Amino acid sequence: MSDDADAVQARITAFWNVLASGYNTADNVAAPGSSEYTAWLETVRSLLPETPSDVLDVGTGTGFVAQMAAELGHRVTGVDLAEGMLESAQDRIERAGLDVSLLVGDAVRPPFPPASFDVVISRSVIWTLRELETAFRSWQTLLRPGGRVVAIYGLGTGPMDESPAQESAEKPMGLFQRHYTAETRNALSAMRLQDHSLPIRMAQRAGLVDVTVSSLELVRGWETSPGSDLPHALVGHRLIS
Ligand SMILES: C[S@@+](CC[C@H](N)C(=O)[O-])C[C@H]1O[C@@H](n2cnc3c(N)ncnc32)[C@H](O)[C@@H]1O
């Protein structure tokens, strides 16, 4: 990472470490057993292979997607740079009686050999990712032939300051702005997407094929990028040969 990228990432990681203990609210993740959880579980099921697969959840945070993928019978690894988020993920996975490998790792260049996974998935991550095209290239390289990248995100069309992320007790006013400074925001190419053309183009330039974006109607109403309320899933595949 360059010094500039290091500084940007350090601010992002610090933000999520501060937020970690308060992240598991109904704004961010659905409680296991709730109807919202069932809706997310069915959504994740529809995006993953039917047969048990090796799944990498990049920017796993408190392990929401990792938990669901493990419940669906997949072998799951989660990486994140915020150790506080990973501690919360460990707690979630243990309470659920599941087995997920959780490691500190950069979603832009996850620390695994090529062709290690069948799926690289993320939820609510690409908006806060620097070097997004490099990330797509890394994810493509990590896939086995026929594997898929799944990126769940929203179009962030609302004004930043109206995001509920800045208004609850767990997320005091100013915290977001102090970490997501102008320099940080400038490094995040998908922070305020108006349409899907940029992530589609980056996925295709990374070598992924059959790239599609669909709206996730079952989980309409969830914010997966600042200001968005309709999650979408970009799915792209690694060529079989
Ligand atoms: C909005 S949270 C989403 C967490 C989780 N995926 C979910 O669905 O609840 C964004 C997460 O991305 C992580 N993150 C941001 N940049 C990262 C990077 N370069 N490498 C790994 N994790 C990163 C943050 O630490 C945070 O846990």
Q: Which two tokens stand for residue 82?
A: 């915020």
Q: Residues 214, 196: contact at Cβ < 8 Å? A: no
**The tokens 């990028």 sit on which residue?**
225
Whole-number Å distance, alpha carbon 241 to ligand 1 midpoint, is 31
Q: Work out which ligand 1 atom sits closest to the CA atom of 135.
A: 19
Rounded CA-CA distance 111/23 in Å is 25
pTM score? 0.94
Which amino acid residue places its CA nearest to atom 25 of ligand 1?
82
Q: How far is CA 14 from CA 114, 159, 170, 178, in A?
A: 29, 23, 15, 10
H/E segment holding residue 54:
strand 54-58
Q: What is the pLDDT of residues 122-156, one digit of tens each?
A: 999 999 999 999 999 999 999 999 999 999 999 97
- Confidence at 171, pLDDT banded by 50, 70, 90: low
Q: Residues 190, 129: contact at Cβ < 8 Å? A: yes
Share of the chain above pLDDT 90, in %: 84
Q: Residues 204, 223: contact at Cβ < 8 Å? A: no
User: What's residue 79's pLDDT?
Assistant: 98
Which amino acid residue places its CA nearest to atom 14 of ligand 1?
59
> Helix axis angle, 64-71 relative to 35-47, nearest 10°?
70
Rounded CA-CA distance 141/174 in Å is 38
Domains and their CATH numbers in the chain: 3-237 (3.40.50.150)
Rounded CA-CA distance 230/220 in Å is 5
Whole-number Å distance, alpha carbon 204 to ligand 1 midpoint, is 23
Question: What is the bridge-based pairing of β-strands 232-237 and 209-215?
Answer: antiparallel
Rounded CA-CA distance 216/228 in Å is 12
Q: Residues 30, 98: contact at Cβ < 8 Å? A: no
User: What's residue 157's pLDDT?
Assistant: 64
**The tokens 């690409």 sit on which residue?**
126
Q: Residues 23, 85: contact at Cβ < 8 Å? A: yes
User: What's residue 26's pLDDT?
Assistant: 85
Which amino acid residue places its CA nearest to atom 23 of ligand 1?
59
Q: Which two tokens stand for residue 3?
A: 């010094």
Alpha helices, DSSP H, located in 79-226: 83-95, 132-142, 175-179, 182-186, 197-205
Q: Residues 72, 45: contact at Cβ < 8 Å? A: yes
Residues with CB under 6 A from ligand 1: 9, 12-13, 16, 28-29, 59-61, 64-65, 79-82, 85, 106-108, 123-125, 128-129
Rounded CA-CA distance 223/236 in Å is 22
Q: What is the pLDDT of residues 75-134, one digit of tens each?
A: 999 999 999 999 999 999 999 999 999 999 999 999 999 999 999 999 999 999 999 999
